[in-house]
């Protein structure tokens, strides 16, 4: 028995590494989004031609509400799972997926309108470039999140997700909250500040 | 490199077929093996990029030399810079972090071993992609081959119009991919340090190496991402008709510069902070004293981490920012010199009153101190925007950053290799060859990089494949090139030492340096599980406490 | 054993000292030699360059003192605190730190930083925010891959690669204020003895000024990597007396010489692709991609300083630009020998 093998007196508890890792990923992703936001704001009003935001953008209120309420549903889904209420968890989880899917559908519809009715593409002007990149990057992250959510839903439907997995599910929910948070920023920049 | 095995007499153990060994190494998730893979990968690229540098120096030996064409020269300096920063510097430092952090905090592996392996192979793919450009980049007009846009790839030189073909795209993709690997490793290091420390190891008892890698990893998360974002934008410009940096459509070339340097400046601190960590572990052991001012060292590093995020535009002092912006970046750049200087003083304070042993790791560390002092001072000169208007984009800057990167990072890495090679392989590196390596490298380094400041002061810009006679640059460039070859010989001695000592070096034992951190408590090399039982620590130097039970650190902390 | 170790150490220190002495001499000789080119930042001949040199001396003095102090401490500690054989089994006093010392070496550097910053800020403002006096010459410099276009909007002059500006009398200053633009990638205008460098960035006009205080030739070159021939995008500034400058302007105002004896050459010039890129004032040729050739013979060099302006070099340049400046954007014209001689003869008349 020496100084290094004497048992430790007291409790030694460290944070859960899943949460720390997801926090790290969120920090890195936030940095990427910040650069796209900076580019967007820098180029507001600087397009040399083509449609301006004011002319073509319509505020996507409904789809924003869908996405933001999906944060609520996923939060309560995780809470239910922690309490072992698997069926409540699964229903709320699937509602989250539907709300996220609706948001993506809405983005697709908006892009279709912008491209075919207003001729705004990523190569039209600075507004087009910055708008499609930033919103597209966000939509890409929503898609990736939805894929993960669907995988969990599949396991859930196969009755494999219980209270024991709630820590990991919580980590995934952190990511989903981040994606929603990014939308708040993107929405503010594009539909409020940039018009 | 195998896990230490217990030999039972009278039992024959078959040699493992080499295919099995190869398979083990390729599929490993063990932090020690991944660490070794990172380090070997980086040493390979050190040699490759070093050869690129030698060719550059041969071309510049005389004015109007014709050793290589301008096209080849421009590819050489682009590849040399990109390789050294991304495929030598980053991997070797991640390799040491991977190997040492779990051992030093009493953990059995990193927090996410499979993510660890994935990140390594992503980085490896990046290096492969960059060099694949030599064969694969034939695009429009047959204009392919290695990238030739400089390692900063300024817009609009990287636009389709000025860089046809795919060479720029290989640059972009190689760095995008390895950047993702870097972010993965950084997340892993942070999670390991915050969540896997052994009982008793409060953050205030962690070895400084762990602290500094924690800060470095945080910086990676925040500053590699801007480069990733900028590269996505560049790809959108080149392939989807975007206009992020398209000056004809109202885009801004300066925006690329801001995004690049918001990455680029913290990147160089990311490269040097792990070397600060090596110094903070090696100098105390060979001075036989604890590090002077542990809490201040932590605070200074955190300070450097934050302030270094605010200095980036000192790389842009010539682009025409207004006087207020230039003044702002002057003061932040000079401010970051304060915590850096404090660290140098603390290392001095560690040596002061000690009993300094001039083993090879300490020789390289002393070289580091001397050179980083000079590099910091030329950095202050470059940080003064008005002075910098003459110095920037000249060979003065090239001299400065080679002073920090070679005189700082490479010397630090050499010190680390000589110090931890015994732990990794179980054998000591040869002291005599080590001293030859050191002295040859010091002489070559100073001949090259001390003199290199002068052509800059005499008006020689960077990135030129040849220069005019009659400007006073010729003799200096010749001597600089001679120094480069002396350094190359030193590297040959080093590689010979690494190989010979692996087979013939003296057995190291657990603790050849009489050191104090946890990695020296296990065998050399360590067993695959690191610790038979998870250690419990009561101070910053658990092995000092064991060796000096009459006067343990735990009494004073 | 100890004596042998000491003598080895002394020998190594001696060798190192010799090495440094050698390098210091080489460096000092290079810097001090007046014939060492005309691009020495410590030989300023214009106010902005002088302001920078004065600041640099101040910064060098302070950093020099810091270096001497820390270096001395480092060398002292290596010598004084080296392990001796007698120390073999004793550890030195285990000192953890000292708050007073930490405070001292935090506060003193902060004060030094503040002083250096204030000196720098003064120089920055003096150089960048200098007002433009009435007698200033206005030049617009446009960077191209790999040559310089100079336009004098108020004087109506279009020139290339070689800049003529008047010397500036401090009593009645006639500085040159440049507007810096770019037609393609990033470039940088650097004449070390006249001013710090400023970049030419497309879609981002920059301003700089210089007031040369003596006549003479000042050299420089592009300092921002701009492509294959960045290295040979040279600059040549001729600072003229007021009379010489006026004469030069008058010469630039003359229309293109119409020498009938080179009519063949002129026909070759105008019927090949030459006029797509080049301009000769008063003729059909008004291309903008390449330098204006109206007064080509008033220049000492061709190809932006890559070769001297001789008939042989001109012939080689037109026939095979890659022989002089590989990768330049001037195509090899592939003329027959007689056409080539004719067009060179024509160029030779464009004084």
Query: Which residues on B lie below 8 Å from C67 (Cβ)?
Result: 373-374, 377
Per-residue pLDDT at B403 exceeds 60: yes
Mean residue pLDDT across chain B: 95
Residues of A in contact with B240 (CB under 8 A): 122-123
The DSSP secondary structure of B514-550, one letter per residue, reads ---SGGGGS-SSPPTTS-SS----SSS-HHHHHH-TT
pLDDT of residue A88: 96
pLDDT at position C194 is 97
Q: In degrees, to the nearest 5, what angle opens at C-alpha B83 toward C-alphas B81 and B89?
A: 95
CA C248/CA C157 separation, integer angstroms = 10
pLDDT-derived band at B145, boundaries 50, 70, 90: confident
Q: Which of B 223-282 lie inside 8 A of A, CB atoms?
A: 223-226, 228-230, 232-233, 236-237, 240-244, 249-252, 255, 259, 262
CB contacts of B355 in chain C (<8 Å) are 81-84, 87, 90-92
CA distance B36 to B91: 10
Residue of B nearest to A45 (CA): B250
- Tell me which chain B residues have a C-beta less than 8 angstroms from the C-beta of C224: 154, 318, 393
**Distance, CA of A69 to CA of B293 (rounded, Å):** 51
> Nearest-CA neighbor of C106 among B96, B498, B297, A161?
B297
The neighbour count for residue B264, using CB atoms within 10 Å, is 18
In chain B, which residues have their Cβ closer than 8 Å to the Cβ of C225?
74, 150, 154, 157, 462-463
Interchain contact, B71 vs C326, CB within 8 Å = yes
| Position B4 pLDDT exceeds 90 | no
Among A27, A31, A141, the residue to mutate for chain B (most B Cβ within 10 A): A31
Which chain B residues contact residue A5 at CB under 8 A? 533, 535-536
Q: What is the pLDDT of residue C38?
A: 79
Round the average pLDDT of chain A to a whole number and report it: 95
How far is Cα B343 from Cα B416, in angstroms, rounded to an integer? 18
Q: Is the pTM of this model over 0.90?
A: yes
CA distance A140 to chain B (A): 13
Name the residue among B252, B374, B450 with its Cβ closest to that of C23: B450
The string of pLDDT tens digits covering residues B526-535 is 999 999 999 9
> What ipTM was reported for this prediction?
0.96
pLDDT at C85: 84
Q: Are B and A touching by the rule of 3+ CB pairs within 8 Å? A: yes
Residue B12 pLDDT > 80: no
Helices within C272-336 (DSSP H only): 274-277, 311-319, 321-324
Check if C38-83+97-213+221-233 and C260-348 are the same fold.
yes
Q: Is the pLDDT assigned to residue B47 strictly greater than 70?
A: yes
The yes/no answer on whether domain B27-555 falls in CATH 3.30.70.260 is no
**Nearest by CB: A24 against B221, B250, B259:** B221
Chain B environment of C198 (Cβ under 8 Å): 318, 320, 389
* Cβ separation C70–B471 shorter than 8 A: no
Query: Residue C164 forms beta bridges with which residues?
Result: C238
Give yes or no for a contact between B429 and B498, defined as CB atoms under 8 angstroms apart.
yes
**Which residue in C has a C-alpha nearest to residue B369's C-alpha?**
C74
Stretch (H or E) spanning A73: helix A61-82
CB contacts < 8 Å between B and C, how many?
Answer: 316
Predicted confidence at residue A6, as pLDDT, reads 78
Q: Give the residue from chain B lying closest to C51, CA to CA.
A: B386
- Each residue of B450-467: pLDDT tens digit? 999 999 999 999 999 999
Say yes or no for a CB contact (<8 Å) between A28 and B224.
yes
Confirm or reject CATH 3.30.2040.10 for domain A17-193, answering yes or no. no
Q: What is the pLDDT of residue C133?
A: 93
DSSP assignments along C163-224, one per residue: EEEE--BTTB---EEEEEEESSS-EEE--TTT---EEEBTTB-EEEEE-BSS-EEEEEE--S
pLDDT tens-digit map of B287-300: 999 999 999 999 99
Contacts of B86 (CB under 8 A, 6+ apart): B126, B127, B130, B174, B175, B178
- CATH architecture assignment, domain C38-83+97-213+221-233: Sandwich (2.60)
B75-93 tens-digit pLDDT: 999 999 999 999 999 999 9
Tokens coding C266? 């002129």
Are the Cβ atoms of C39 and B351 closer than 8 angstroms?
Answer: no
Tokens found for residue B341: 């200087």
User: Are 3 or more Cβ–Cβ pairs between A and C shorter than 8 Å?
Assistant: no
pLDDT at C173: 93
At B544, is the pLDDT very low, low, confident or very high (cuts 50, 70, 90)?
very high
Q: What are B340-379's pLDDT values in tens digits?
A: 999 999 999 999 999 999 999 999 999 999 999 999 999 9
Confidence (pLDDT) at B10: 78
Nearest CA in chain B to A6: B536
Predicted confidence at residue C3, as pLDDT, reads: 59
pLDDT of the residue at A8: 81
Average pLDDT on B430-436 reads 97
End-to-end CA distance of chain C: 80
Q: Using CA of residue B46, residue B48, residue B49, residue B55, what is the dihedral sign?
A: positive
**Residue B140 in this model has a pLDDT that exceeds 50:** no
> pLDDT (tens digit, 0 to 9) for every residue of chain C, 351 residues total?
555 556 666 666 777 777 777 777 777 766 666 555 679 999 999 999 999 999 999 999 999 999 999 999 999 999 999 998 887 788 999 999 999 999 999 999 999 999 999 999 999 999 999 999 998 999 999 999 999 999 999 999 999 999 999 999 999 999 999 999 999 999 999 999 999 999 999 999 999 999 999 999 999 999 999 999 999 999 999 999 999 999 999 999 999 999 999 999 999 999 998 999 999 998 989 999 999 999 999 999 999 999 999 999 999 999 999 999 999 999 998 899 999 999 999 999 999
Contacts of B188 in chain A (CB under 8 A): 21
pLDDT at B142 over 50: no
CA-to-CA distance for B354 and B351, rounded, in angstroms? 5
Confidence (pLDDT) at A7: 79
Give the model's pLDDT for residue C47.
Answer: 97
Cβ separation C37–B459 shorter than 8 A? yes
User: pLDDT for B185-200, tens place per residue?
Assistant: 999 999 999 999 999 9
Q: Nearest residue on chain B to C98, judged by CA atoms?
A: B293
Architecture of domain C260-348: Sandwich (2.60)
- Subunit contact A7:B549, Cβ cutoff 8 A: no
User: Quick one: pLDDT band at residue A71, thresholds 50, 70, 90?
Assistant: very high
What distance lies between CA B555 and its chain's CA centroid?
37
What pLDDT shows up at residue C159? 96
| Domain ranges (residues) in chain C | 38-83+97-213+221-233, 260-348
Instruction: Say which residue the tokens 């002007």 belong to.
Output: A125
Domain ranges of chain B: 27-555
C226 — phi, psi (to 5°)? -125, 5
C304, C308, C311, C312 alpha-carbon torsion, rounded to 10°? -100
């Amino acid at each position: 028995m020496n100084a290094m093998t004497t048992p430790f007196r007291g409790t030694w508890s460290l944070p859960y590494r899943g949460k720390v890792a997801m926090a790290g990923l969120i920090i890195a992703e936030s940095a990427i989004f910040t650069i796209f936001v900076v580019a967007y704001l820098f180029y507001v009003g600087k397009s040399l031609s083509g449609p301006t935001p004011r002319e073509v953008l319509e505020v996507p209120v409904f789809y924003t509400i869908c996405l933001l309420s999906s944060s609520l549903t996923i939060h309560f889904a995780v809470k239910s799972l922690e309490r072992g209420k698997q069926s409540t968890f699964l229903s709320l989880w699937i509602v989250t997926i539907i709300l996220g899917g609706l948001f993506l559908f809405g983005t697709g519809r908006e892009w279709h309108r912008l491209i075919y009715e207003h001729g705004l593409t990523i190569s039209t002007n600075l507004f087009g470039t910055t708008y499609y990149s930033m919103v597209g990057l966000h939509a890409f992250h929503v898609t990736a999140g939805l894929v993960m959510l669907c995988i969990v839903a599949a396991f859930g439907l196969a009755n494999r997700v219980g209270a024991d997995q709630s820590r990991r599910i919580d980590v995934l929910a952190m990511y989903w909250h981040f994606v929603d948070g990014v939308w708040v920023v993107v929405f503010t920049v594009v539909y409020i500040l940039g018009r | 490199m195998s896990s230490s095995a217990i030999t039972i007499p009278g039992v024959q153990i078959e040699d493992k077929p080499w295919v099995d060994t190869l398979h083990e190494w390729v599929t490993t998730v063990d932090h020690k093996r991944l660490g070794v893979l990172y380090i070997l990968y980086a040493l390979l690229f050190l040699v490759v990029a070093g050869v690129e540098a030698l060719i550059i120096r041969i071309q510049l030996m005389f004015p109007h030399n014709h050793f290589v064409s301008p096209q080849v020269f421009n590819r050489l300096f682009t590849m040399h810079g990109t390789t050294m920063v991304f495929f030598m510097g980053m991997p070797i430092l991640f390799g040491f972090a991977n190997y040492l952090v779990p051992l030093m905090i009493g953990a059995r592996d990193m927090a996410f071993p499979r993510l660890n392996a994935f990140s390594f192979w992503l980085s490896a793919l990046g290096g492969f992609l960059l060099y694949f450009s030599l064969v694969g980049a034939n695009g429009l007009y047959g204009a392919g081959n290695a990238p030739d846009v400089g390692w900063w790839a300024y817009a609009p030189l990287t636009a389709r119009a000025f860089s046809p073909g795919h060479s720029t795209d290989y640059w972009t993709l190689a760095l995008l991919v390895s950047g993702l690997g870097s972010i993965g490793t950084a997340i892993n290091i942070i999670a390991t340090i915050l969540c896997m420390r052994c009982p008793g190891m409060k953050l205030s008892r962690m070895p400084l190496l762990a602290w500094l890698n924690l800060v470095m990893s945080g910086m990676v998360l925040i500053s590699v991402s801007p480069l990733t974002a900028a590269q996505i934008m560049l790809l959108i410009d080149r392939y989807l008709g975007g206009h992020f940096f398209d000056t004809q459509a109202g885009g801004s070339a300066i925006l690329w510069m801001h995004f690049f340097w918001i990455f680029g400046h913290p990147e160089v601190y990311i490269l040097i902070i792990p070397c600060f960590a090596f110094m903070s572990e090696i100098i105390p052991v060979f001075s036989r004293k604890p590090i002077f001012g542990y809490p201040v060292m932590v605070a200074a590093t955190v300070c450097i981490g934050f302030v270094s995020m605010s200095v980036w535009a000192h790389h842009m002092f010539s682009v025409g920012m207004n006087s207020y912006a230039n003044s702002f970046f002057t003061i932040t750049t000079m401010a970051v010199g304060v915590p850096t200087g404090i660290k140098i003083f603390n290392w001095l304070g560690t040596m002061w009153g000690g009993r300094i042993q001039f083993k090879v790791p300490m020789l390289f560390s002393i070289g580091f101190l001397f050179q980083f002092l000079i590099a910091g001072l030329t950095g202050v000169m470059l940080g003064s925007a008005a002075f910098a208007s003459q110095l920037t984009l000249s060979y003065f800057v090239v001299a400065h950053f080679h002073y920090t990167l070679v005189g700082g990072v490479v010397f630090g890495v050499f010190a680390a290799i000589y110090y931890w090679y015994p732990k990794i392989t179980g054998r000591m590196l040869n002291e005599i060859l080590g001293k030859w390596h050191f002295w040859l490298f010091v002489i070559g380094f100073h001949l090259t990089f001390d003199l290199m400041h002068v052509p800059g002061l005499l008006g020689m810009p960077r990135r030129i494949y040849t220069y005019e006679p009659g400007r006073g640059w010729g003799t200096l460039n010749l001597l600089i090139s001679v120094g480069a070859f002396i350094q190359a010989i030193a590297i040959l001695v080093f590689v010979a030492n690494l190989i010979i000592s692996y087979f013939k070096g003296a057995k190291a034992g657990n603790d050849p340096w009489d050191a104090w951190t946890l990695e020296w408590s296990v065998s050399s090399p360590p067993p695959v599980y690191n610790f038979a039982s998870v250690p419990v620590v009561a101070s910053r130097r658990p092995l000092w406490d064991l060796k000096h039970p009459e006067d343990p650190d735990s009494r004073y902390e | 054993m100890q004596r042998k170790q000491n003598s080895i150490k002394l020998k190594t220190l001696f060798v190192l000292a010799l090495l440094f002495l050698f390098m210091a001499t080489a460096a000092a000789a290079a810097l001090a030699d007046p014939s060492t080119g005309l691009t020495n930042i410590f030989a300023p001949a214009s106010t902005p360059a002088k302001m920078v040199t004065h600041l640099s001396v101040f910064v060098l003095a302070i950093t020099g003192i810091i270096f001497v102090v820390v270096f001395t401490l480092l060398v002292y500690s290596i010598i004084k605190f080296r392990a001796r054989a007698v120390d073999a089994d004793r550890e030195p006093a285990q000192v953890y730190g000292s708050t007073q010392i930490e405070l001292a070496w935090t506060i003193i550097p902060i004060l030094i930083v503040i002083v250096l910053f204030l000196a720098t800020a003064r120089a920055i403002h003096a150089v960048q925010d200098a007002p433009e006096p009435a007698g200033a010459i206005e030049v617009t410099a446009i960077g191209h891959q790999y040559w310089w276009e100079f336009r004098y909007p108020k004087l109506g002059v279009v020139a290339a690669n070689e800049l003529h500006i008047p010397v500036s009398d401090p009593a009645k200053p006639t500085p040159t204020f440049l507007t810096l633009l770019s037609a393609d990638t990033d470039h940088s205008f650097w004449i070390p003895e006249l001013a710090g460098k400023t970049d030419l960035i497309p879609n981002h006009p920059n301003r700089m000024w210089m007031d040369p205080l003596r006549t003479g030739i000042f050299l420089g070159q592009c300092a921002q990597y701009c492509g294959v021939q960045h290295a040979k995008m040279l600059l040549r500034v001729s600072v003229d007396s007021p009379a010489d400058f006026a004469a030069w302007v008058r010469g630039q105002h003359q229309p293109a010489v119409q020498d009938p004896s080179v009519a063949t050459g002129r026909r070759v010039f105008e019927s090949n692709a030459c006029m797509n890129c080049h301009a000769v004032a008063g003729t059909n040729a008004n291309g903008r991609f390449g330098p204006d050739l109206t007064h080509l013979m008033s220049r000492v060099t061709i190809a932006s300083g890559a070769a001297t302006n001789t008939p042989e070099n001109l012939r080689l340049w037109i026939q095979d630009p890659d022989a002089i400046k590989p990768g330049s954007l001037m195509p090899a014209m592939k003329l027959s020998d007689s056409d080539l001689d004719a067009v060179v003869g024509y160029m030779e008349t464009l004084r």
